[in-house]
Homo-oligomer: A and B are copies of this chain.
Amino acid sequence: MTASPLLYLQSGGPTAVLNASAQGVIEAARRLDLPLYAARDGLAGLVKGELVDTTRATDAEIARLSTLPGASFGVSRHMLPTWEEAPQEWLALRDVLERHDIHHLLINGGNGSIGCAARFVEFEQHTGYPLRVIGIPKTIDNDLVGTDFSPGFPSAARFLATQMREVAVDMASMAQRRIFIMETMGRHTGWLAASTAAAAQYAGDAPQLILLPEATFDAERFLRKVRQSLDEHGHCAIAVAEGLEGADGRPLAEFRPDATYGHEQLGGVGTWLAGLVKRELGMTSHVAQVDCLQRAARHLASAVDLRLAHQAGSTAVEWAVNGKQGVMTAFARRATDTPSWEVEPVPLASIGDRERRMPAEFIDADNLWVTPAYLDYLRPLLAGPAAVPWDKDGLPDCRAIDWVSI
């Protein structure tokens, strides 16, 4: 069975290191002399049988794969139903796999994608076609359970912490009082917003406030702390996750006809907070909405993240060949003075479609910052920097790799 090609696919939103995992997969397959195909556009491409042959790419192309942001093979949000919901879709998948004699599937994705991967575990039982499936973790949101962290998160965190630190210096340079609000991604979890805490070199440094979806927003306490920071530092820097919730458990910045007099509210929670500050304190705020920049910023990727994303990919190939089935290449942290990580198998069924929120011990008692325990967790993940291939114009060389279709 080992002479049959393995199939790899990327799924969900890209990260700065998703292609490092792809590189790990491809290099391991080459080392083991195994043919390796990849699906275009993730599960959407797999369903349609749109595959590429990675063996047609040169070693030089594979060497620069990990320097590219995005998802080199393409991704989609296409998800798979259960067997009971749509057996015909699974039988169509069987046709695609059988046509290419594929018996090993490596799915690189976040919660939804790992949930889909888990549904492949019973593929043989339902279709009579032997298939092994291994999951490879990926998400900037860091909300996969069963793993110490998810590749992609450390690099996004390093980007956010770097920018927060640089803006903090800029802000401290200004004689006038200033409020700066940085809105990060995170619809349900605060890992990314919380990562800006690493920007603080000394106690009291920016960000002075961190607002997390895991901690109910209290406007009075928030405004009190903003005033206090303005008095103490002359400025106040705030990091806020896009999914910050009010006391009713609903996101503060979602569409609320009653609150906007029938007009759709545009802009996110950062803009919403700026409105609150304007009304209550009479001050305008600077608002940065970082959006996709935080997940695309390969130029600030964490070297630890790159290395471990690569390892998650190469280990997945080894496990597939060695007969492992239905597990994800999860990370376990070894608690030493210099933390290190080991890749361990965790069952896909225990991971998919769940969500890891920030635990209470990582959130400060006043709900407006993180604890030292969170910083101890975060800091080893940020270590960098990673090399960037600058082109003659001084910008990162991002030329796409032209994969050869089968």
Which chain A residues have a beta carbon within 8 Å of chain B's beta carbons?
13-14, 41-42, 44-45, 68-72, 74-78, 158, 161-163, 165-176, 180, 198-199, 201, 260-261, 263-264, 266-267, 271-272, 274-275, 278, 286-293, 295-300, 302-304, 379, 382-385, 388, 390, 392-396, 398-400
Q: For A271, what are the chain B residues with a Cβ–Cβ distance below 8 Å?
A: 266-267, 271
Closest to A388 in B: B385
Q: How far is the CB of A154 from chain B (nearest CB, A)?
A: 9
| A286 touching B296, Cβ below 8 Å | no
Q: For A263, what are the chain B residues with a Cβ–Cβ distance below 8 Å?
A: 260-261, 263
Q: For A158, what are the chain B residues with a Cβ–Cβ distance below 8 Å?
A: 394-395
Closest to A272 in B: B266
| A395 touching B170, Cβ below 8 Å | no
* Partner pick for A289 among B287, B302, B385, B395, CB 8 A cutoff: B287
Q: For A291, what are the chain B residues with a Cβ–Cβ distance below 8 Å?
A: 180, 286-288
| A75 touching B396, Cβ below 8 Å | no
Give 13 pairs: A residue, B residue, CB < 8 Å, sorted on A: A42-B175, A69-B169, A71-B173, A163-B297, A165-B398, A166-B296, A167-B292, A180-B292, A264-B275, A267-B287, A271-B271, A379-B393, A382-B395
Given A162-B395, A288-B291, A383-B394, A70-B169 contact (CB < 8 Å): yes
| B175 touching A76, Cβ below 8 Å | yes
Closest to A178 in B: B292
Q: How far is the CB of A271 from chain B (nearest CB, A)?
A: 5
Closest to A68 in B: B169
Q: For A272, what are the chain B residues with a Cβ–Cβ distance below 8 Å?
A: 266
Given A166-B69, A267-B271, A74-B175 contact (CB < 8 Å): yes
Q: For A172, what are the chain B residues with a Cβ–Cβ distance below 8 Å?
A: 70, 400
| A70 touching B170, Cβ below 8 Å | yes
Assembly CA distance A42 to B176 (angstroms): 12
Q: For A69, what are the chain B residues with a Cβ–Cβ distance below 8 Å?
A: 166, 169-170
Q: For A264, what are the chain B residues with a Cβ–Cβ distance below 8 Å?
A: 275, 278
Given A166-B69, A293-B167, A300-B299, A75-B395 contact (CB < 8 Å): no
Q: For A70, what are the chain B residues with a Cβ–Cβ distance below 8 Å?
A: 169-173
Tally of this chain's copies: 2
* Partner pick for A169 among B180, B198, B385, B398, CB 8 A cutoff: B398
| A288 touching B293, Cβ below 8 Å | yes
Closest to A298 in B: B166
* Partner pick for A14 among B74, B173, B289, CB 8 A cutoff: B173
Closest to A10 in B: B173
* Partner pick for A394 among B77, B287, B303, B394, CB 8 A cutoff: B303
Given A288-B291, A299-B300, A201-B167 contact (CB < 8 Å): no
Q: For A198, what are the chain B residues with a Cβ–Cβ distance below 8 Å?
A: 393, 395
Assembly CA distance A167 to B69 (angstroms): 8
| A171 touching B292, Cβ below 8 Å | yes
Q: A77-B176, A166-B396 are in contact. List 20 more A-B contacts (CB 8 A).
A: A44-B175, A45-B175, A70-B173, A74-B173, A74-B175, A75-B173, A78-B175, A166-B398, A169-B400, A170-B296, A171-B292, A172-B400, A180-B292, A260-B263, A267-B287, A286-B292, A287-B291, A288-B290, A299-B300, A382-B393
| A385 touching B394, Cβ below 8 Å | yes
Q: For A379, what are the chain B residues with a Cβ–Cβ distance below 8 Å?
A: 393
The 9 closest A-B pairs by CB, nearest first: A267-B267, A76-B175, A70-B173, A384-B394, A71-B173, A70-B169, A288-B291, A170-B296, A166-B296
Assembly CA distance A97 to B384 (angstroms): 47
Assembly CA distance A171 to B170 (angstroms): 30
Q: Which of A75, A163, A260, A295 has the most CB of B within 10 A?
A: A163
Q: How far is the CB of A386 from chain B (nearest CB, A)?
A: 10
Q: For A176, what are the chain B residues with a Cβ–Cβ distance below 8 Å?
A: 76-77
Q: For A394, what are the chain B residues with a Cβ–Cβ distance below 8 Å?
A: 158, 302-304, 382-385
